């Protein structure tokens, strides 16, 4: 499903760091931040230890705390909600658009209360959410926007790269992401004061060495991680191009299969296809999504389920948030239907054809 890039330039970059003896808080992190800022067109970028840390710091820097509510999607990785909860605030789940699987602006509007302070859209699978509508809602209600772009580096909304639209945008550079640092993440913002606060919070609240002006965290990125990411900066667009090419090939090949709906990409967005996720219609096929996945595995094709249950249904959260399922009918359908197919840049045409044949066979079509 994923093949982290490991070229010779990465090996050399890591060796350079090890030879330098500067393993933390050196120039490599700063150069990586500068390169990311230039790529995104962002004014400030802060590299951190994970995408989860990025979200946590963003909410902290914006002053989120007990009694506050932040509206987000239940159809994401759990960190999207956990980062809100780390601040003592409450995630409120809006439903998704059944075509894109991204948060539905109309549902956001319905979930606003006097306690709502912000909106956290997730650009799921590398496809931007409907940011014009979300920005309009935020402006009318005086809410901040923290974008969870963990899967979306390089994605564009109306020709503008994700990373400069909301108040803060948070990215993950985990090993399976389109740009990776093995583990890591980063934050982009146009707000200098927010960036300064985030930098201090990242470094245990230190304004200068041994002077702590905030209660912060050890959320720093290492020099080795930054070197791995920096070595890939010039490759992001090529990786994205190949993913789009692979996605287009898959869509062309599977569009006529019964019970299988390829990803829908609105014309005004550019997805980077971190995942290529189809919908499986059990009522048409007489086979469940899980049965299709098992048949494809038997044929030698790995698939993924992103995600097998909504955040509010996770065992850690079910007692507190499970009742919100009734407010999210599109989410309740989607998690039973989604199936992610391989799309990464390391695939050959023969690999893609193998994926297509395995899916066709699983749904009862001979190619």
DSSP string computed for 73-123: -SSS-THHHHHHHHTT-EEEEPPB-TTT-SBPHHHHHHH--TTEEEEE-B-
- Residue 224 and residue 241 share a domain: no
Q: 40 lies in a domain?
A: yes
pTM of the model: 0.97
C-alpha span between 146 and 331 (Å, rounded): 21
Q: 367 lies in a domain?
A: no
Q: Is the pLDDT of residue 153 over 90?
A: yes
Which one of 179, 214, 235 terminates a domain?
Answer: 235
Q: Is the pLDDT of residue 220 over 90?
A: yes
Cβ pair 187, 196 in contact under 8 A: no
Q: 1 lies in a domain?
A: no
- Residue 89 and residue 15 share a domain: yes
- Residue 277 and residue 230 share a domain: no
Q: 219 lies in a domain?
A: yes
- Residue 210 structural domain: 8-235
What confidence category does residue 325 fall into, taking pLDDT thresholds of 50, 70 and 90?
very high
Q: Is the pLDDT of residue 3 over 90?
A: no
Which one of 190, 209, 235 terminates a domain?
Answer: 235
Q: 207 lies in a domain?
A: yes
Q: 3 lies in a domain?
A: no
- Residue 168 and residue 41 share a domain: yes
- Residue 288 and residue 161 share a domain: no
CATH number of 141's domain: 3.40.640.10
Q: Quick one: which of 188, 138, 179 has its CA closest to 161?
A: 188
User: Strand, coil or helix: what is 365?
Assistant: coil
What sign results for the dihedral spanned by CA atoms 231, 236, 237, 238? Answer: positive
- Residue 182 and residue 36 share a domain: yes
Which one of 235, 250, 284 terminates a domain?
Answer: 235
Q: Peptide bond before 307: cis, by omega within 30 degrees of 0?
A: yes
- Residue 101 and residue 208 share a domain: yes
Instruction: Please give the pLDDT value at position 185.
Output: 99
Mean pLDDT for the chain?
98
Q: Please state the rounded mean pLDDT for residues 129-135.
A: 99
CA distances from 236 to 36, 179, 222, 229, 329 (A): 11, 7, 21, 10, 36
- Residue 250 and residue 211 share a domain: no
How many domains would you assign to the chain? 2
Cβ pair 170, 150 in contact under 8 A: yes
pLDDT, tens only, 226-241: 999 999 999 999 999 9
- Residue 269 and residue 130 share a domain: no
- Residue 341 and residue 260 share a domain: yes
CATH number of 297's domain: 3.90.1150.10
Q: Is the pLDDT of residue 2 over 90?
A: no
Q: 2 lies in a domain?
A: no
- Residue 219 and residue 122 share a domain: yes
């Amino acid at each position: 499903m994923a093949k982290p890039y490991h070229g010779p330039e990465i090996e050399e970059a890591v060796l350079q760091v090890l030879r330098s003896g500067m393993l933390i808080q050196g120039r490599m992190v700063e150069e990586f931040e500068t390169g990311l800022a230039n790529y995104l067109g962002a004014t400030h970028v802060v590299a951190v230890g994970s995408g989860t840390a990025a979200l946590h710091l963003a909410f902290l820097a914006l002053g989120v705390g007990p009694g506050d509510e932040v509206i987000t999607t239940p159809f994401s990785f759990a960190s999207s909600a956990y980062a809100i909860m780390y601040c003592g605030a409450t995630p409120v789940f809006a439903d998704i658009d059944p075509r894109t699987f991204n948060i539905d602006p109309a549902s956001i509007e319905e979930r606003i209360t006097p306690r709502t302070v912000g909106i956290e859209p997730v650009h799921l699978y590398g496809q931007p959410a409907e940011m014009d509508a979300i920005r309009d809602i935020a402006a009318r209600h005086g809410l901040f926007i923290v974008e969870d772009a963990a899967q979306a580096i390089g994605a564009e909304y109306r020709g503008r790269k994700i990373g400069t639209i909301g108040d803060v945008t948070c990215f993950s550079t985990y090993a399976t992401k389109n740009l990776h640092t093995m583990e890591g993440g980063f934050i982009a913002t146009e707000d200098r004061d927010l960036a300064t606060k985030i930098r201090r919070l990242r470094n245990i609240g230190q304004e200068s060495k041994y002077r702590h002006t905030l209660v912060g965290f050890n959320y720093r990125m290492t020099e080795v991680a930054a070197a791995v990411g920096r070595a890939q900066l010039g490759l992001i667009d090529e990786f994205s191009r190949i993913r789009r090419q692979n996605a287009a090939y898959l869509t062309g090949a599977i569009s006529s299969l019964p019970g299988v709906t390829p990803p829908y990409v609105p014309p005004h967005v550019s997805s980077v296809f971190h995942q290529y996720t189809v919908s499986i219609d059990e009522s048409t096929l007489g086979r469940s999504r899980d049965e299709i996945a098992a048949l494809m595995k038997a044929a030698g094709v790995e698939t993924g389920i992103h995600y097998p249950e909504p955040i509010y249904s996770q065992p850690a959260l079910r007692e507190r948030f499970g009742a919100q399922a009734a407010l999210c009918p599109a989410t309740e359908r989607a998690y039973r239907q989604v199936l992610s197919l391989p799309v990464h840049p390391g695939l050959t045409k023969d690999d893609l054809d193998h994926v297509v044949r395995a899916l066709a066979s699983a749904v009862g079509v001979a190619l």
